[in-house]
Structure 1
């Protein structure tokens, strides 16, 4: 994907993994922190460092953090667009659960005995149920606790009336 100089400067910076931690890899450190904070949906340095540290730990492949996996995770968080720190924490969990589920898929596909197959299948099942629950929690939070209702198709005939909004009907009252 090609980018102009201005677009390149505004991209979410990469994370440079080092033996003693990590650093935001951007020519302008202040801009790099701001871009990373925006991508993660947090408003201050401590929240950004905390979410990044957790994502680095969740990106581990083998015994070490994986830069490619981490870049994917940050990209997914950015694409979901968390709007505050609560959403940032939930989205980081969602991305981590997805990565773990895909790791279980790999382990299941490569299991060479029944015990490993069963273990990977159980873990995959739990993670696969967790992800949609997290999506639902994010949607509820974004809608201030109200369940999201989508109306697919409404048709009203000539002379008919449609009501858009909440309707309460009391059962058992004849009028």
Structure 2
């Protein structure tokens, strides 16, 4: 189970404002979005690994242990501590080249990617973790396909697997959007013909699935 240790890793809104005070108008808009994101959600916590001889242990790096756990719950969108730790363990295994070589940098990047999806409940958290996994696997396939010494067969196989994974990712995005809309469908009427005595409805017509 992850435990919190003390180390400053968060950047405050005031720090960001000071850092981006002398920028162009376009850069200012980007900086404002960064500020808004910082105010809307806490930055994802970072992890570190240590080996005490009996096995690896993982700890959250943060100046405040309670805030570190809150940030981790914010990343996953789930309430149960066991569920949070399960997801964190899965992201750790995803980022490791093997379980004897745990990689804190890659794990932190996977956590950050999950945070960008902003899951808000259990199903969204599991789907977000799967989306990160599929994206990583697809990019690995494309990377192997572009290796200079790759064979024609190897390049073709990796490109096919990568393309399949990107289609799966698109389906995951659609599933996430559908879940967030709670099954609500929107029908847009572009052409309306009204007979004498009839009445037209202008705008979108929404209906919820039962």
- TM bucket normalised to smaller: 0.7 to 0.9
- What displacement does 1:11 show? 2.8
- What displacement does 1:164 show? 3.3
Does residue 108 (structure 1) correspond to residue 145 (structure 2)? The answer is yes
Q: Paired residue for 1:16?
A: 48
Question: TM-score normalized by structure 1?
Answer: 0.77
Q: Structure 2: how far apart are the matches of 1:150 and 1:11?
A: 37
- What displacement does 1:154 show? 7.1
Q: Structure 2: how far apart are the matches of 1:113 and 1:132?
A: 28
Question: TM-score normalized by structure 2?
Answer: 0.65
| Distance change (3 Å), C-alpha of 1:166 and 1:150 | closer
Q: Paired residue for 1:3?
A: 11
- What displacement does 1:112 show? 1.9
Q: Specify the SS of the correspondent of 1:165.
A: strand
Q: Paired residue for 1:128?
A: 166
| Distance change (3 Å), C-alpha of 1:71 and 1:114 | same
Q: Structure 2: how far apart are the matches of 1:4 and 1:124?
A: 39
Q: Paired residue for 1:80?
A: 117
- What displacement does 1:12 show? 2.1
| Distance change (3 Å), C-alpha of 1:130 and 1:21 | farther
| Distance change (3 Å), C-alpha of 1:16 and 1:142 | same
| Distance change (3 Å), C-alpha of 1:27 and 1:150 | farther
Q: Paired residue for 2:81?
A: 45
Does residue 142 (structure 1) correspond to residue 150 (structure 2)? The answer is no
Which consecutive unaligned segments of at least 5 residues does structure 1 have? 168-175
Contact preservation (8 Å) 2:45, 2:71: yes
Q: Paired residue for 2:130?
A: 93
- What displacement does 1:118 show? 2.7
| Distance change (3 Å), C-alpha of 1:150 and 1:92 | farther
More strand by share: 2
- What displacement does 1:106 show? 0.9
- What displacement does 1:29 show? 2.0
Q: Structure 1: how far apart are the matches of 2:141 and 2:87?
A: 23
RMSD: 3.0
| Structure 1 residue ranges (4+ consecutive) displaced by more than 3 angstroms after TM superposition | 4-8, 153-156
Q: Structure 2: how far apart are the matches of 1:142 and 1:5?
A: 29
Given candidates 42, 50, 69, the residue that maps to 2:106 is 69
Which consecutive unaligned segments of at least 5 residues does structure 2 have? 1-9, 16-37, 193-199
